[in-house]
Amino acid sequence: MKLFKVISLIILAHTMIFAKTLSNEDLSKLGTFTKINAKVTSSVLIAKNMDLYLVEGKDTKGQAFNVVIDKDGKYLFLTNKVINTKTQEQVSIPIDISILKGKALFTYGTGKREINVFTDPECPYCHKFEASWEKIKKDVKINVFFFNLDFHKNANAMSRWILSAKTNEAKTKRLSEIGKGSTEYKKAKFTNDEISKLNTIINKSKKLGEELGVRGTPSVYDMQGKSINWTSLVK
């Protein structure tokens, strides 16, 4: 009897050690997804002991989905957030941020830790985050991108005024001033050609965010493509 228990434990341990991590293709073959012709585009194993995966994908209509599923497809958890209860941080699937390399509108800070921030100069939550940059500038280097939300009607005018500044420091200062209530951007005078060029820069920045799946601001990513809750940077 004791020998049987020992053998059982060895088999169990071996199974746990050599258990295969499912690929996106493997997960796409689960009945849960094949029944609706859905395709898993990215995934991460979030609980090895339970074989639970956080997956993202698209259905036949091109609609994106974000769910948690077990390796056999028996259980499906519909959710838009998974939280690590130990760290209180959201678990997310790292994305490929290589398209951002060298395309930041401007940078701020001299720290070794580098982050990418999608902001909107008319966004009140962005203002709260940006107000903390002075305190963390020696710890991080911030690559700034604009992701102006459609319902923020002054965002593009604000962005043009910010980007017309000559240096990174001056651009950051203007962004900060807008966050404090400045309306100097309304006095800015640009030729039609200048407006067209600046709008092109702003639109390209937003397009980068759309390709990464940015949906709101501020959105922050580290250099490995992991989403970061901005409040964790200012504690």
Q: What averages of pLDDT result for each successive group of 10 residues across the chain (235 residues)?
A: 44 49 91 88 82 85 81 78 68 83 97 97 96 95 97 97 97 98 97 98 97 92 91 83
Cβ 233 vs Cβ 220: under 8 Å = yes
Residue 4: what pLDDT?
41
Domain topology for 98-233: Glutaredoxin (3.40.30)
Residue 11: what pLDDT?
40
**What end-to-end distance do the CA atoms of the chain give, in Å?**
56
- Cα 80 to the chain's mean position, in Å? 13
Residues whose CB is less than 8 angstroms from the CB of residue 3 and which lie 6 or more positions away in sequence, other chains included: none
Residues whose CB is less than 8 angstroms from the CB of residue 235 and which lie 6 or more positions away in sequence, other chains included: none
Domain ranges of the chain: 2-90, 98-233
Q: Look at residues 170, 166, 105, 112 and name the one whose alpha carbon lies nearest to residue 138.
A: 112
- From residue 159, alpha-carbon distances to 51, 64, 203, 214 in Å are 46, 30, 11, 18
**Count of residues making up the chain:** 235
